[in-house]
Structure 1
Amino acid sequence: MALIKNVNTKVLPVITVMLAGLVTLSPFAIDSYLAAMPVMSEFFGVSISIVELTITAYFLGFAIGNFIGGPLSDSFGRKPVALTGVTLYALASIIIPYCSNVEEIIALRVLQAFGGGFATVTANVFIRDWFSGKQVAKLLTIVSMMMMLAPLFAPVIGKFLIDWKGWQGVFYFLFVFAVLLFVAFLILIPESRDKKMITRKLSVEQLFGKYKVFFSHKPSVLTLFAVSFSMSGMYIFLTAASFIYIKYFEISVAQFPIVFGANVVLNILLSLLNTQLLKKYKPMYILRVGLLLQLFAGILLLITVMMGNPSFVMVFIGIVIFIGSLGLIFGNGSAVILNHNPNVAGSANATIGIMRFILSFIIGSLIALFHTDDLIPIGVGMFLCTAIGNLLYVIVMKQYKKQELKA
């Protein structure tokens, strides 16, 4: 195990669970909430496309939180930034149930997401501070796999909470979850940033300077966009999931958690496979396989939705493979980027989150704007995301091969 700092291996499982807790803030904020969207549409007397904006607003807030939180964690340390983010997330969560209109919820969802992004951006760099090489990819995959467990349970929890307390119950749960995470993190997680690197100073010039260093490495930037586009396809699905299953295919609210949860089973299995593949192969090559698998799913979805009466089974299979492929994409893509940018790991990791959620915000907004009674905009959007991601990574691989030949 490529250990950089003196971390007690006995507490490593606890640390991994806590970091997974950070990255599940957003999956819970999105996935436990999906089944509530039709209920909220009726409650506030607005169309479901308007309620969908509370999802895309979350993407925007998360990106802003990442943008500021990443560099701050480089200068002030990872732990204080994480705790501040969880606090903002908790405050927004407890206020939202008392909103009287959707516009207020959209604004508070931005704040909630800002806190989530502020906290989540530190999770991967805690790992990068402590480890190096393939071990980074392995631990990022484990954390990512645990993050993907959230969509498995979140809809079930959401359905229970909606039956118990209405749509407001979802946000009461998010508040309690954030408070418990804050307390556990405060007690159990040590600071990972080297004290010599904590300057407690960050000017606007320094903030943008850290990003300038990252963007000067062209292969990292192209990898960033390749991974971000592939992830954006998933967020198109998340934005439209309740429409796809509940409205279009008329799956009951009670069945929704089961169908939705099945979408992440393959992701978890491929994440487990990835930890074994990393023993033999470099992350950059496994990432290529994951992107190609997702492209296959994107083509399948595109063909299916273009049919006059798309089959539920074919749409379901296409989505399962599309989401599942991320088990080979996200952890490896993040590891490739972080391993090439160790001195600005916080900013590099923030950039991953920023681009992922900015693209998701833009694409999700377009999907909501061009919302129709069929699945064509969703299928086309998901296909374009994976096609662009694959094209960019072909260029990346050529650049990495040139670097290897020069070396």
Structure 2
Amino acid sequence: MNYIKSNIQTRFLPVLTVMLAALVTLSPFAIDSYLAAMPLMANFFGVHLSVVELTVTVYFLGFSLGNFIGGPLSDSFGRKPIALTGIVLYGLAAFLIPQCRGIEQIIALRLLQAFGGGFATVTANVFIRDWFTGKQVAKLVTVVSMMMMLAPLFAPVIGAFLIKWNGWSGVFYFMGCFATVLLVAFYFLIPESRDVQLLTKTISGHQLFAKYVQFFSDKQSVLTLFSVSFSMSGMYIFLTGASFIYIDYFKIDTDLFPLLFGANVLLNIILSFCNTILIKYYKPRFLLRTGLLVQLIAGIVLFVAVLYGTPSFWVVFIGIVVFMGSLGMVFGNGTAVILNYNPELAGSANATIGIMRFLLSFVIGSIITFFRAEDLVPLATAMFLCTLIGNVLFTIHMKTR
């Protein structure tokens, strides 16, 4: 294991980074590549757009379940088997979705696809935590996150091309093919990172929950977890309503949707890149605080803009871009802080991060979907409250330290 660890840290670091980045792009592709196709799906199945939006919110639920089960299993059975199993489930569901003739079937398969995505993605950061420590974890998590953000930049563009070529079903065939290629590459290129002596190969219900009980017994971890989770939830709330904001409300042409969406990702990448430089001089906790404050300012601007009269497109657009871009300094640093609090529970700790942010997104997104107004007030309010709560919780965390 020490020999493998040494090789990973030197010769195979670029391969590891690319493969883990590809692993965590499964869910961005599953969400962002078909956002522009949602109105088409609504027409195809003869349902309201809000019903199709459930295929996004239910993904959050499935992803949370995949993280919940996959994290502890990766501690007991190893990271690689869990990752490969998740990729298989994700790809299988993607290939089956175009065969559906009812939106109910798609919602069920999206739950399965999300479960697989959560199962696979939960292992990405713990591969890093197994092989690296301290600031190296924050740096590599940020690099992987930055590369992951390239997926939302290109996903809408690829989705728009696939929609014109083969309708909305072409997007899901692409997901299935991507999962197949990743499955083969990951199997042959990435070794197991978990120490052999730590692989128990068994897990009981008690063991499954005991790891989470141990995690939640640490007040610092819990406060940081909820702070980051609420901050990230604001992003997924936007993803749920992105097509409504730009295509339905502001009447933006579908062809321009990838450009507007890509602006969010571009700023996220820029700030993620800056974070990899700043992490050499500042602690992850300080950079996390900075990212949260930037997001809070954007949330306030967005909330005020939609609250009074007809909102300006450019004010809403810039507010969303800054809100989303700030996460380039939130997610990587937040994950590093939590993992460094719990090195012996890396799999379960990382799973908890995914569970909470996606579970919160599912709950809030579902509420907005069922009680959607014909304006932007519900979306903007939810995004503002998420970043406000995240900042308050992190402030409490800093004071209790």
Q: TM-score range by the shorter chain?
A: over 0.9
1:3-402 equivalences in 2 (<5 Å): 5-8=5-8, 9-400=10-401
**What is the CA distance between 1:307 and its match in structure 2?**
2.2
Deviation at 1:212, TM superposition (A): 1.2
Shift of 1:5: 2.8
Structure-2 change in CA distance of 1:4 and 1:299 (3 Å): farther
1:349-391 Cα offsets, whole Å, 9 max, x none, are: 0000000100000010011011111000000000000000000
User: For the residues of structure 2 that align with 1:74 and 1:169, how far apart are their CA atoms?
Assistant: 36
Alpha-carbon distance between aligned partners in 1 of 2:271 and 2:259, rounded to the nearest angstrom? 20
Q: What is the aligned partner in structure 2 of residue 405 from structure 1?
A: none
Using the alignment, how far apart are the partners of 2:48 and 2:308 within structure 1? 26
Q: What letter matches 1:178 in structure 2? A: A
The question of whether the paired residues in 2 share the 8 Å contact of 1:149 and 1:264 is answered with yes
Maintained 8 Å contact 1:301/1:315: yes
Deviation at 1:33? 1.1
Report how far residue 4 of structure 1 moved.
9.8
- After the TM superposition, list the runs of 4 or more consecutive aligned residues in structure 1 that deviate by more than 4 angstroms: none
Q: Which runs of 5+ in 2 are unaligned?
A: none
Deviation string 1:324-371 (CA, Å, 9 cap, x unpaired) is 100000000000000010111000000000001000000100110111
Deviation at 1:118, TM superposition (A): 0.1
One-letter code aligned to 1:5: K
- Aligned residues, how many? 398
> Match for 2:5: what amino acid?
K
Q: Which amino acid aligns with 1:241?
A: A
Cα deviation, residue 253, structure 1: 1.1
Corresponding residue number in structure 2 for 1:403: none
The separation in 2 between residues aligned to 1:343 and 1:391, in whole angstroms, is 28
Q: Partners of 1:146 and 1:72 in 2: how far apart?
A: 26
CA–CA distance in 2 between the matches of 1:34 and 1:42?
Answer: 14
Contact 1:245–1:251 under 8 Å retained in 2: yes
Q: Deviations over 1:149-199 (max 9, x none)?
A: 111000000000100110000000000000000000001001000000011
Q: Given that residues 7 and 130 in structure 1 are in contact (C-alpha distance below 8 angstroms), is that contact kept between their aligned partners in structure 2?
A: no
Q: Which range moves more in the overlay, 8-17 or 84-93?
A: 8-17
SS at match of 1:191: coil
CA shift for structure 1 position 264: 1.2
Give SS of 1:46's match: coil
Q: Give the alignment's TM-score, normalised by structure 2.
A: 0.98
Q: Distance in 1 between matches of 2:5 and 2:222?
A: 28
The amino acid that maps onto 1:39 is: L
Query: What residue number does 1:404 align with?
Result: none
Aligned-partner residue type, residue 7 of structure 1: N
Deviation at 1:83, TM superposition (A): 0.1
Q: Tell me the SS of whatever aligns to 2:395.
A: helix
Residues of 1 paired with 2:321 and 2:79: CA distance? 34
Deviates more, 1:104-113 or 1:3-12: 3-12
Helix, strand or coil: the match of 1:309? Answer: coil
Mapped partners of 2:270, 2:257: distance in 1: 21
Letter in 2 for 1:223: T
2-side partners of 1:220 and 1:42: how far apart?
Answer: 45
| C-alpha contact (below 8 Å) 1:4/1:131 kept by paired residues | no
* CA deviation string 1:254-308 (max 9, x = no partner): 1111111111111100001101111111101110010000000000000001121
Question: Which ranges in structure 1 are unaligned for 5 or more consecutive residues?
Answer: 401-407
Contact 1:62 1:114 in 2 (8 A): yes
Amino acid paired to 2:266: V
User: Match of 1:5, SS?
Assistant: helix
